[in-house]
Structure 1
Amino acid sequence: MSGFKLQRGDRLVLATHNKGKLDEFRDMLADFGLDIVSAGELGLPEPEETGTSFVENARLKAHAVAKATGQIALSDDSGIAVDALDGAPGVYTADWAGVPRNFQMAMQKVQDLLIEKGATAPDQRKAQFNAVLCLARPDGTDMIFEGISPGTLVWPPVGERGHGYDPMFMPDGHQKTFGQMSAEEKHAWAPGREGLSHRARAFSKFVRDVL
Structure 2
Amino acid sequence: MRLVLASNNAKKLAELKALFAPLPLEIVAQGSLGVAEAEEPHHTFIENALAKARHAARATGGAAIADDSGLCVDALGGQPGVASAHFADVVLPVGEREVQRRVQDEANNALLLQRLQGRPDRRAKFVSTLVAIRSADDPEPLVAVGRWQGEILAAPRGAGGFGYDPLMFIPALGKSVADLDAATKNAHSHRALAAAQMLALMHESWHLG
Q: What residue is the counterpart of 1:103 in the other structure?
A: 105
After TM superposition, the structure 1 stretch with the greater mean CA deviation from structure 2, 37-46 or 145-154, is: 37-46
Query: Which position in structure 2 is the counterpart of 1:35?
Result: 26
Aligned pairs, how many?
190
Q: What residue in structure 1 maps to residue 12 of structure 2? A: 21
Residue 114 in 1 paired to residue 113 in 2?
A: no
Q: TM-score with structure 2 length normalisation?
A: 0.82
What pairs up with 1:1-211 in 2 under 5 angstroms? 10-96=1-87, 100-101=100-101, 102-115=104-117, 118-119=118-119, 121=120, 124-141=121-138, 142-188=141-187, 196-211=188-203
CA contact (8 A) 2:142 2:201 kept: no
In structure 1, what residue type is equivalent to 2:190? H
Deviation at 1:31, TM superposition (A): 4.4
Unaligned regions of 5+ residues in structure 1, if any? 1-9, 189-195
CA contact (8 A) 1:155 1:168 kept: yes
Change (3 A) 1:54 1:43: same
Q: Alpha-carbon deviations, 1:46-75, whole Å to 9, x = none?
A: 111011111100100001001101121110
Residues 20 and 162 in structure 1, CA contact (< 8 A), matched pair in contact too? no
Q: Which moved more, 1:30-39 or 1:171-180?
A: 30-39
Q: Percent identity?
A: 37
Contact 1:79–1:130 (8 Å) recurs in 2: yes
- Asked if the contact 2:20/2:195 (under 8 Å) is kept, the reply is no
Query: What displacement does 1:45 show?
Result: 1.3
Do the aligned residues in 2 keep the contact of 1:126 with 1:152 (CA within 8 Å)?
yes
Note if contact 1:63-1:137 (Cα within 8 Å) is conserved in structure 2: no
Superposed displacement of residue 156, structure 1: 2.5
- Which residue type is aligned with residue 25 of structure 1? L
Q: Is the 8 A contact 1:12 1:34 kept in 2?
A: yes
Question: Quick one: distance in 2 between partners of 1:19 and 1:110?
Answer: 27
Unmatched runs of 5 consecutive residues or more in structure 2: 93-99, 204-209
Secondary structure, counterpart of 1:67 in structure 2: helix
In 1, Cα distance between the equivalents of 2:130 and 2:110? 28
Could you tell me which amino acid in structure 1 is paired with residue 114 of structure 2? D
Q: 1:89 to 1:56 in 2, by over 3 A?
A: same
Q: Aligned-pair RMSD on alpha carbons?
A: 1.9
Shift of the alpha carbon at 1:12?
Answer: 1.4
| Secondary structure class of the residue paired with 1:158 | coil
Indicate if the aligned counterparts of 1:151 and 1:169 stay in contact, CA closer than 8 A: yes
- Label 1:54 to 1:129 Cα distance change in 2 as closer, same or farther (>3 A): same
